Copies of this chain bind each other. A is one copy, B any other.
Amino acid sequence: MISKERIKKIRALHQKKQRELTQEMLVEGTKSCLEVWNSSLEIVSTYVTQDWIDKMDGKLPINIDYEIISQREMGQISALSTPPEVLSVVKIPQYNAAQFDSQQPILVLDAIRDPGNLGTIIRSADWFGIRQIFCSEDCVEFSNPKVIQATMGSFCRVKIVYGDIAELIQNQADRATYGMFLEGKLLREVNFEKNSLIIVGNESEGISKKVEQLIEYKVHIPTGSGAAGAESLNASVATGILLYELSTQQH
């Protein structure tokens, strides 16, 4: 049993404004919760259904407080269309660009708006060992429940910082800057520096003009030989291909 007051407070975390105010976010589902419980992130509260706790032999795999609530109550606090069996409220991790490893690449996202795309990009970055992502202020917030869901737990392992891309480029002047465009050097022929800044743009507009003029190397993914008509790749697919190429070079 969970009070109406508490349900209201948790539901409020579906909204960006309330997440910013409290610096708390929702993490939903077994996979994501297991990841976050095993991370260094701060857990505020955890809710599980009786069915789920029965499946887990009556206890959580980690020693934290939790409350058993009904499936109906879970539906009231969840932000997902299919409510999960387990949900944690978690402190949003705070990083800044000064914490970035100067020897490692930074993936830079310019106005990625779709939560599924951002979450998928964080997941790919984690897979390819890219642990630092810099987002322009007009990217969707990574604390959005749909982003968290699409990361499949990878948000626990990647430092994500929001800020001004032009400032980042100026402050990180020793790093070579590469940007994804619809023209430029073929991706396969680019030799990335180890500590590159790699910039990917918005789903429909690409990289903004302001950022474009600060980029040294334009890179593109060519269409196939039989192609005739597709105008672009999905932003998260294009980023995945870019990270694959970067990772393959550095193996």
**What residues make up the interface of A, taking CB atoms closer than 8 Å to B?**
35, 104, 116, 120, 123-124, 126-131, 150, 152-154, 156-157, 188, 221-234, 236-238, 240-241, 243-244, 246-248, 250-251
The residues of B that contact A131 with a CB separation of less than 8 Å are: 226
User: What's the minimum C-beta distance from A33 to chain B, rounded to whole angstroms?
Assistant: 15
Interchain residue pairs with CB less than 8 A apart (7) = A104-B226, A127-B224, A127-B227, A127-B230, A128-B227, A129-B223, A224-B243
The residues of B that contact A247 with a CB separation of less than 8 Å are: 222-225
Contact of A224 among B128, B153, B233 (CB under 8 A): B128
Is A234 a contact partner of B124 (Cβ separation < 8 A)?
A: yes
User: What's the minimum C-beta distance from A216 to chain B, rounded to whole angstroms?
Assistant: 23
Counting every copy of the chain, the complex holds 2
Q: How far is A17 from B158 in the complex, measured between Cα atoms in Å?
A: 43
The residues of B that contact A154 with a CB separation of less than 8 Å are: 229-230
Is A221 a contact partner of B234 (Cβ separation < 8 A)?
A: no
Contact of A244 among B123, B225, B244 (CB under 8 A): B244
Q: How far is A81 from B224 in the complex, measured between Cα atoms in Å?
A: 33
Is B120 a contact partner of A234 (Cβ separation < 8 A)?
A: yes
The residues of B that contact A104 with a CB separation of less than 8 Å are: 226
